[in-house]
Amino acid sequence: MLTQSLNTSISSTKAVPFAKPDQFCALTGHAGLVATEFSYRKDEEIYGEDELAEYVYQVIRGAVRTYKLLSDGRRQIGAFLLPGDVFGLESGTSHRLTAEAVIDTTVRLVKRSSLEQAAGVDVQVGRKLWCITAGELRHAENHMLLLGCKNAMERVASFLLEMDHRLAGTGMMALPMCRKDIGDYLGLTLETVSRALSQLHSDGVLGFSGARQIVLRNRQHLRNMDA
């Protein structure tokens, strides 16, 4: 690993193209850390489960999935990471999920040890790390509710609203992941995901232009069926 396009740069505090405050810059800007850019091909592993957590990452371009596997290959995707999202942050020593690029992806990364050091000096850095983990926990708690209680259509509606919120907000949404990934995220098979999307299409709730180019025509309808 780490054998591709390396593009080191000093703590890039220049404006980044995200609406929300940039979590990564809030960290690196604070302490003047060195951030490196790195790229991964579609389906390439970024880190493995139980591997030593040496870096913390932020998606610049592309998309990342994190997941756990059972011994027989059943897979639960814990999260999709999109541009701006931070991932790979651990308070312990090793990663608890595997991370892979969903499509060709560029990330920024900093050494975990630098962050630890910065957190030892500045309590605000420590606080920020805590908040990032707490955000992941909030997402996981919502997702447990989905996996434990919701039916197939409710799950797909939740997924579309989540992606709409994080990807587009306006008009067209370009999903980076395939139906199998969506199924493994929602605890459904790819066929069930496909059927739910087809039904929403024929109900006029959404439009397609290519299987992964979706435009939501009736967000309120989706919110209603999300339960």
Partner DNA sequence: CGTCCATTTGAGGTGGATCAACCCTAGTGG
Partner DNA sequence: CCACTAGGGTTGATCCACCTCAAATGGACG
Write out the residues near DNA by the rule CB under 7 A: 151-153, 178-180, 187-195, 197-198, 208, 210-212
Q: Does 147 bind a second copy (CB under 8 A)?
A: yes
Phi, psi of 27 (to 5 degrees): -85, -55
List the structure tokens of 206: 């959404």
Q: Does 140 bind a second copy (CB under 8 A)?
A: yes
Cα end-to-end span (Å), the chain: 43
Binding-site string for a second copy from residue 97 to residue 116, where x marks contact by CB under 8 A and - marks none: x-------------------
C-alpha distances in Å from residue 92, one per residue of 30, 51, 52, 101: 22, 11, 9, 23
Interface size with a second copy, residues (CB under 8 A): 40
Stretch that binds a second copy, among 39-47, 54-62, 84-92, 174-182 (CB under 8 A): 84-92
Q: Does 119 bind a second copy (CB under 8 A)?
A: yes
Q: Residue 22 Cβ, how far from DNA at the closest point, in Å?
A: 30
Q: Does 207 bind a second copy (CB under 8 A)?
A: no
Q: Residue 64 Cβ, how far from a second copy at the closest point, in Å?
A: 15
Q: Residue 181 Cβ, how far from DNA at the closest point, in Å?
A: 8
Q: Which is nearer to a second copy, 1 or 134 (CB)?
A: 134
Alpha-carbon dihedral sign for residues 215, 219, 222, 226: positive
Sort 16 into a burial class: Cβ within 10 Å, 0-12 / 13-18 / 19+. middle
Contact 146, 155 (CB under 8 A): yes
From CA 199, how far away is CA 212, in angstroms rounded?
15
| Axis crossing angle, helix 190-202 with helix 179-186, rounded to the nearest 10 | 100
Which of the choices DNA, a second copy, none does residue 218 contact, using the CB cut-off of 5 to 8 A by kind? none
What are the residue ranges of helices labelled H in 8-75? 23-31
Q: Which of 10, 137, 172, 174 binds a second copy (CB under 8 A)?
A: 137
* Chain contacts with a second copy (rule: CB under 8 A): 68, 70-72, 74-76, 78, 90-92, 96-97, 119-120, 123, 126-127, 129-131, 133-134, 136-138, 140-145, 147-150, 184, 186-187, 227
